[in-house]
Amino acid sequence: MIKPGLVVYMLLVTSLLLTSAMQAETLPQHAEEAHLGVATCASSVCHGSVRPRSSSSVLQNEYVVWSRLDSHRNAYNILFSEESRWIAKNLGLENAHEAEVCLDCHADNVAHEKRGDRFQINDGVGCEGCHGGAERYLASHTDPGQTHQDNIDAGMYPTDRIEDRAKLCLSCHLGDDQKIASHEIMGAGHPRLSFELDTFDVLQPAHYTLDDDYKTKKWSADHVTVWALGQVEAGYQTLRLIESHLSNGKLFPELSLFDCHACHHSMSDLRWQPQRLTGLPPGSVRLNDSSFAMLFPIARVVAPSQVAKLEEQIKQLHRVVVEKEDVKKSVRALNDTLDTLKASVKKFDKLFDKSKSLLGDVVAIGRAGEVQDYVEAEQAVMAIDLLMRATGEHELHKKWVDQLYAAVEDEDTFDPYSFADIMQSATF
Ligand code: HEC
Ligand code: HEC
Ligand code: HEC
Ligand code: HEC
C-alpha cells in the first residue's frame, strides 16, 4: 500500500527533479535531438545570406559570419595542424581528428546515431553545437507566432540565458565533468585554457544584434552584468570540476585544476610570498582560483555581507585540497555563497552604474600587490578592459590598458611586481 507520506515524498522528489531539469538545460552534445548539420541551416533564404537583412528579425547572414570569421569553424581543422599531430603523438593517439577526446571540444561530437544525413563532423563547432540539435525545431522555428520558449521546448538550447550560455561555453573553454583538458593533454602540448564570458562573447564575431526586437524576445543584459554573472558561473563550474576530479581517490590529483605557474617556473625565480587568500605555506601547490578572484569586487558592491565568508571559504578550499581532505563540504559551502551572490547580482538592477567603483576596486587589488598569480592577472586585465569601456574612459587610458595587456602577454615572463607597478601608475 502506498502511504500518504510516501506520496508526498514522491511528489517532492518529482518536483525537485523537475525544477532541476528546468534550471539546468542538457548541453547540445548530450541532448536527445538529432543534429542535422550546418548545411541544413546555411541556405541563402535561411541563415546563409551574404549580407545582413533588415526585413527579418534575425540577421540571416549567421552562416557567412560563422564560416568566414568565427574560429569555431576551424576548431576541427586545427586537429590536422603540426601542433595537434605532436599532441596526438605524445598521447599515443593514432591521430587527433578521430580521437573522441579532441573531438568532444573541437567539433559537434554527438553520438553517431544522432547525426542527420547532412551532418559533417568537419564543420567543427557548428550551429547545432551551440544551438542544439535541430531535429524537432527546424520545421517550426520560423512559423509565425512561434515564441522563443516554443523553440526551446522543441530542443533549441537557450544560448541567451546566461546560466545556460556560460555552462555551454565553459564546457569546452574550462571543461566539465564529461570532458577536461587534463594535465596529460597539457603536458602533451595543448595550450592552457582561460575564459571570461563577456570578453569571449565580444571576441566571437557577432552573428546577432541586441536590438529592441531581440530584447523583447530574449534574455539580455549589459556587459558588466554579463561579466558578473559569468564570473559566478565560472565559480560554480570550477567547484564542479574540483568535486568531480579531486575527490576520486586517485594518488595524484588532476593537476590541470591547479595554478600551472605554481609548478612551472624557473627555480631561480623565487616567487613565494604569503598570500592572504590561500594562507598556504611555501612549497604548496595552489588551486587555480582565478574563477574566484573577481568575485570579491563584485561581492563588495552587491553583497558586502558575503565578502568575509567568501574569503574564509576559499581559503578553506585551498587548505582541504592541499591536505587531501574530503573536498565535498567545502565545495558545498562555497556553492551556497555563490547562490547568494548570484541572487544579489540578479536583484541589483543597476550594476552597470557601479562600473566606476568596480573598476576602482579591481585596480586597488592590483595596487595592493594582491594579484600574484598569472591566472588572476589575466582575469583582472579582462575585467579592467570591459569596465573601462563601461565607464567610457577606455580611450582616455588606452596606453595604460595596453601596458596591462603587455604584462600578461607572456605567461612565462609574467612578473607580479611589475604588474603591481603598472597598477600603481594608474592616474585615476
Ligand atoms: C575541454 C575541451 C578541450 C579538449 C578536451 C581539447 N581541446 Fe584543444 N582547445 C580547446 C579550446 C577551448 C581551445 C582554444 C583556446 C583559446 O584560444 O582560448 C583549444 C585550442 C587548441 C589548439 C590551439 C588552436 C589554435 O588556434 O592555436 C590545438 C592545436 C588544440 N586545441 C588541439 C587539441 C587536441 C589535439 C586535442 C585532443 C588531444 C584537444 N585539443 C583537446 C578545448 C579543448
Ligand atoms: C559558439 C557558439 C555558437 C555557434 C557555433 C553559433 N551560434 Fe548562433 N548564437 C550564439 C549565441 C551565444 C547567441 C546569442 C544568444 C541567443 O540569441 O540565443 C546566438 C544567436 C543566434 C541567433 C539569434 C539572433 C536573434 O536575433 O535572435 C541566430 C539566428 C543564430 N545564432 C544562428 C546561428 C547559426 C545559423 C549558426 C551556424 C552557422 C550559429 N548560430 C552558430 C552562439 C553560437
Ligand atoms: C564544443 C566546444 C565549444 C563550445 C561549446 C564553445 N567553444 Fe569557443 N572555442 C572552442 C574551440 C575548440 C576553440 C579554438 C578553435 C581554434 O583555435 O581553431 C574556440 C575558440 C573560441 C574563441 C576564439 C578564441 C581565441 O583565442 O581567438 C572565442 C572568442 C570563443 N571560442 C568563444 C566562445 C563562446 C562565447 C562560447 C559560448 C557561447 C563558446 N566559445 C563555446 C570550442 C568551443
Ligand atoms: C603540481 C605541479 C604541476 C602543476 C600544477 C602543473 N604541472 Fe605541468 N608538469 C608537472 C610535472 C611534474 C611535469 C613533468 C615534467 C617532466 O616530464 O619533466 C609537467 C609537465 C608539463 C608539460 C610538458 C613539459 C615538457 O617538458 O614536455 C606541460 C606543457 C605542462 N606540464 C603544462 C601545464 C599546464 C598548462 C598546467 C596548468 C593547467 C600545469 N602544467 C600544471 C607539474 C605540474
Give one DSSP letter per residue of 315-349, joined into a string. Answer: HHHHHHHHTT---HHHHHHHHHHHHHHHHHHHH-T
Q: Which residues on adjacent β-strands are paired with residue 287?
A: 258
Domain with CATH 1.10.1130 in the chain: 27-140+156-217
Q: Which residues of the chain have pLDDT under 50?
A: 1-22
Cα torsion 140, 142, 147, 152 to 10°: value is 50
| C-alpha dihedral sign at 233, 236, 242, 247 | negative
C-beta 102 within 6 A of ligand 3: no
Cα torsion 249, 251, 255, 257 to 10°: value is 20
C-beta 200 within 6 A of ligand 2: no
pLDDT of residue 248: 63
Q: In whole angstroms, give the CA distance from residue 183 to residue 254.
A: 7
DSSP state for residue 49 in the 8-state scheme: -
The amino acid present at 97, given as its one-letter code, is H
Q: In whole angstroms, give the CA distance from residue 382 to residue 202.
A: 12
346-376 burial, b for 16+ CB within 10 Å, e for fewer?
bebeebbebbeebbbbbbebbbeebbbbbbb
Q: 292-324 pLDDT, tens per residue?
A: 999 999 999 999 999 999 999 999 999 998 888
pLDDT of residue 251: 61
Q: In whole angstroms, give the CA distance from residue 37 to residue 119.
A: 4
Give 191 Cα–ligand 1 centroid separation in angstroms: 7
Q: In whole angstroms, give the CA distance from residue 147 to residue 52.
A: 22
Q: What is the CATH number of domain 27-140+156-217?
A: 1.10.1130
Ligand nearest to the CA of 180: 1
List CB contacts of 100: < 8 A, sequence separation 6 or more: 109
pLDDT of residue 23: 54
The pTM (predicted TM-score) of the whole model is 0.93
Ligand 2 pocket test: pick from 36, 130, 150, 160 the residue with the most ligand atoms within 8 Å of its Cβ. Answer: 130
C-beta 169 within 6 A of ligand 2: no
Compute φ and ψ for 182, nearest 5 degrees. Answer: -70, 170
DSSP state for residue 123 in the 8-state scheme: G
Give 322 Cα–ligand 3 centroid separation in angstroms: 32
Closest ligand 1 atom to residue 91 Cα is 38
pLDDT of residue 18: 40
Is 258 in a helix, a strand, or coil? strand
C-beta 107 within 6 A of ligand 3: no
Compute φ and ψ for 375, nearest 5 degrees. Answer: -60, -30
Give 262 Cα–ligand 4 centroid separation in angstroms: 10
DSSP state for residue 251 in the 8-state scheme: S
Q: In whole angstroms, give the CA distance from residue 15 to residue 26.
A: 18
List CB contacts of 257: < 8 A, sequence separation 6 or more: 238, 241, 242, 245, 246, 287, 288
CB atoms within 10 A of CB 136: 17
Q: In whole angstroms, give the CA distance from residue 208 to residue 140.
A: 20
Give 402 Cα–ligand 2 centroid separation in angstroms: 31
Instruction: Give, using CA atoms, the residue closest to atom 14 of ligand 3.
Output: 75
Instruction: Give, using CA atoms, the residue closest to atom 29 of ligand 1.
Output: 84
Q: In whole angstroms, give the CA distance from residue 67 to residue 38.
A: 10
C-alpha cell at 415: 612578473
Q: Are 299 and 310 in contact (CB under 8 A)?
A: yes
List CB contacts of 259: < 8 A, sequence separation 6 or more: 285, 286, 287, 288, 289, 290, 373, 374, 375
pLDDT of residue 198: 96
Q: What is the mean pLDDT of the chain?
A: 90
